[in-house]
A and B are shown apart, each in its own frame.
Chain A
Amino acid sequence: MLKVINTGLDIGSKTLLRDINFMIPPGELVAICGPNGAGKSSLIRLLSGELKPSQGEVHWGDKRLSEWNLLKLARQRALMQQQAEVGFAYTALEIILLGRHPHHQGANRPQDYQIAMAAMQEVDAAHLAEQVYTTLSGGEQARVQMARVLAQIWEPGEGPRLLLLDEPTAALDPRQQHRILEIARKWADKGDVAVVAIVHDLNLAAQYADRIALLRDGRLQAIDRVEAIMTPAMVEACFDLPCILLNHPDGGTPMIAARRHHSQWRKQDEHAQDR
């Protein structure tokens, strides 16, 4: 269970996050949405343990993240980040094998290669194995990074696992976006994996997530089931975007569409207030 208790984050004199409270049990996929600069990335960096909260606590399992042994935590928690620069000409397979470091800390064992290859197949990237990572397209690099974090926490058994995805779909075409979130969904459905993903596209989030967390100005506006979040009122409050609610023709997932000419609509609104 991931527990975030009264957590805040200050960097310098700037407050990035305030009074965040939520819990995520294994088996759940939670999407974090919110406008740019809302603190989504800061939140996921707190959840990964990279940043320590200025106030409050982040717990994973029975203790605070900061109390975990680095290696033990590394076998249960993985973070895929937006930009990943690699200094040398590693092949995609070698990059994915880096995810196995916490399991051997030395030479790769045969099972590490098998897991790396299986992780590549999971993200449809097996054909990239021998290619040099830096020569891949942005979308291919994102898939390789996804395979790397999956390889890092591939085996169950050491306790529940935590998969953190910081805008995993940012560089991907629509088909690949769905593929990555399908994988995230599949991993959550394993039952012992809690998945937290920052997703910009609300409709994409609504199709795959169990719950959506709305973040704005460093505060958690709401965290609730998809149907409760996907309302014109909620979305407008978070994004300042007037919109209407639709239902997906297949299966009825709620969808949000922006109103046409909403900027004019807003101007009229301001005129009304002026008067």
Chain B
Amino acid sequence: MSGAASSLRMALPASRSLQLRSRVLIGLGVTLFILVVLAAGIGAVSIAPLDVVKLLTSPPGSAAWQSIPQEHMQQAMVLWNIRLPRLALGILTGAALAVSGAAMQALLRNPLAEPGLVGVSGGAALFAALAIVLGGVWMAALHDVIGEFALPIFAFIGSLIATILIFVISTRQGRTSIALMLLAGIAISSLCGALIGLMTFIASDLQMRSLNFWSLGSLGAATWPMVAMVACLSGSSVLILLKQSSALNTLALGEVQASLLGVSVRRLNQVCIGAIALAVGAVVSVTGIIGFIGLVAPHLVRLAIGPDQRLVMPASALVGAILVLLSDLLARTIAVPTEVPVGIITALLGVPFFLALLFRMRRKIGV
């Protein structure tokens, strides 16, 4: 280092990237909040944005709730019992899928890894479906003991198996083959799809309805206990993944350099695979398969602010939440009075995006 003048010049990039970091996160946070307020007001019972904010400050059971005038009571009930749990579930879903996607991409050193695409969500959906159809009295008993957590446990096992399979098939000696990963993903997704289809033949009418939405994805069933469960499982997994962001950065240099930089690569892999499986499993157990969020959100963020995982992961969480809320808003408003499954909207959005990415990466994949 030479002198005060040059050290002043050196300090510039530091302040710039710190500023960028806080600006991006604050901007996305504000956008998400505005979207929540608007989306909460849109629907069969419409609520003006200002009223939404007012009602948000008076939760059921509080003193403020008692003082809500009679003509606003219906709005309050709709907001707190239907719209808010759905929005909360949407935020959690978007954040969990996007952060899981970003983490998978860093682990596999490849921007096409996505929980839905490579069968992680499929595995979760399959095991949840197995539990619903074949679980019978066992499932009912389990539900009595651990309530909302019964189904996610099975979904977690399914997504864990799928994630481990993907890693085992597509990586060799610390190198990942994009083509192998995508092919393995096709195989796992097809198998899960076929087995879920098989389940629908065995299923009763009631089971059938819940099975149908696994394959298409929907936030329509949101309830507060569900939200609490997802917040618990996916939320904590997302926090664990965010804590690994600096270590995940070093993987960009390869596994050898990462370990020479003091990262225990084996442990990092295990922690991340477990957290991804839990985050995705818990979400899929209540929403079904909502695809492409884990691909689109991190990619948009990287395009805008570069690949530093420490910024990509939290920003992806917010972008993922925004994308899911927007898709869900579209899903429940374009075909009133019926609802389009949100998974269809995200796929319509995500597939062209994915194809564009494939097109750009053609040479790398070896076509």
Q: Which residues of A contact B (CB under 8 A)?
A: 48-50, 70-75, 77-79, 81, 84-91, 93-95, 98-99, 101-102, 104-108, 110, 112-114, 117-118, 121, 129-130, 152
Contact = CB atoms under 8 A, between A and B. Distances in A.
Contact of B260 (A50, A90, A95, A130): A50
A104 to B, nearest CB: 8
Contacts of A129: 13
Residue in B1, B7, B111 with the greatest tally of chain A CB atoms within 10 Å: B1
- Report, as a range, how many residues of chain B touch the other chain: 20 to 34
Interface string B2-23: 1000110111011001000000
A42 B110 CA distance: 28
Contacts, number: 97
A75 B89 CA distance: 43
Given A50-B259, A50-B260, A73-B262, A88 B10 contact: no
B308 A113 contact: no
Contacts of B246: 101, 104-107
Given A113-B10, A113-B11, A114-B7, A107 B262 contact: no
Interface in B80-132: 109-111
A118 B310 CA distance: 23
Nearest to A107: B310
28 contacts: A74-B261, A77-B260, A81-B256, A81-B257, A84-B254, A86-B252, A86-B253, A87-B110, A88-B111, A88-B302, A89-B306, A89-B307, A90-B307, A93-B13, A98-B252, A98-B253, A98-B261, A101-B247, A101-B249, A101-B250, A101-B261, A102-B262, A105-B262, A107-B310, A108-B14, A110-B11, A121-B2, A129-B13
- The DSSP consensus for interface residues of chain B is helix
A47 to B, nearest CB: 11
Interface of B: 1-2, 6-7, 9-11, 13-14, 17, 109-111, 246-247, 249-250, 252-254, 256-257, 259-264, 302, 306-308, 310
Nearest to A117: B10
A78 B109 CA distance: 22
Nearest to A83: B254
The 10 closest A-B CB pairs, nearest first, are A74-B262, A88-B307, A113-B14, A71-B262, A117-B10, A87-B109, A102-B262, A70-B262, A118-B1, A101-B261
Nearest to A119: B1
